[in-house]
């Protein structure tokens, strides 16, 4: 749905004055974080169908990604990586977990718009800049190649880890808290997802030979 909305936005506004495009994105960003007001009028599903509500918020990032890619700014920033990375991560942490708290784009759970988008863009820029630095690293390429199954299975494996911990300790761990245990759960779940994919990757590689 985000791609459909991006296509429509680009066809209508893609060649207009930069200020028109900028203010249109501001409106989209505002609508994205306020769309839960609309969702209350859909009692059957509790939200717009096909996660169109989430697509509005995600559209901001797709538009930004398009222009960041076109400008090549990530490659230009590589030389400043060691200076920029601590600043990006630190500010992401401050505007995100510290000031904004928990957010979830998929469920349209947002902190106030300025905090949400500031933290999001800082974090995304840090990740993308790191991806450019490590683009020749085979492990990074492996994760990128299998990003779809990794994304699709993340919730299953996160709760598999949580349920296992609960089974042995009797303590239920909350995966959305900003603490070391939540980070540990995420790392273990990610490792398990990679182990799930690895046999298929080996089989596929051998078959290609």
Give the tens place of pLDDT for each residue, 195-207.
999 999 999 888 8
Give the relative orientation of helices 52-71 and 113-133 as an angle to the nearest 10 degrees: 50
- pTM for the predicted model, two decimal places: 0.76
Give the relative orientation of helices 18-34 and 2-13 as an angle to the nearest 10 degrees: 150
For residue range 27-86, what is the model confidence (pLDDT) as tens digits? 999 998 888 877 777 766 677 778 888 999 999 999 999 999 999 998 889 889 988 999
For residue range 135-192, what is the model confidence (pLDDT) as tens digits? 889 998 898 889 999 988 998 999 999 999 999 999 888 877 667 888 889 999 999 9
């Amino acid at each position: 749905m985000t791609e459909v909305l991006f296509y429509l936005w680009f066809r209508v506004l893609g060649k207009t004055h930069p200020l028109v495009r900028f203010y249109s994105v501001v409106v989209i960003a505002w609508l994205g974080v306020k769309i839960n007001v609309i969702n209350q009028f859909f009692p059957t599903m509790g939200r717009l169908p096909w996660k169109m509500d989430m697509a509005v918020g995600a559209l901001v990032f797709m538009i930004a990604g398009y222009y960041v890619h076109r400008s090549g700014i990530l490659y230009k920033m590589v030389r400043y990586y060691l200076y920029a990375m601590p600043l990006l991560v630190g500010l992401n942490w401050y505007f995100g977990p510290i000031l904004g708290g928990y957010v979830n784009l998929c469920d349209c759970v947002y902190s106030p718009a300025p905090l949400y988008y500031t933290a999001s863009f800082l974090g995304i820029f840090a990740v993308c800049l790191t991806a450019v630095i490590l683009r020749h690293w085979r492990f990074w390429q492996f994760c990128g190649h299998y990003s779809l199954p990794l994304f699709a299975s993340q919730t299953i494996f996160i709760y598999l880890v949580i349920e296992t911990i609960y089974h042995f300790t009797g303590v239920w761990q909350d995966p959305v808290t900003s603490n070391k245990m939540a980070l540990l759960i995420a790392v273990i779940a990610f490792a398990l997802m990679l182990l799930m994919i690895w046999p298929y990757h080996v089989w596929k590689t051998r078959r290609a030979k």
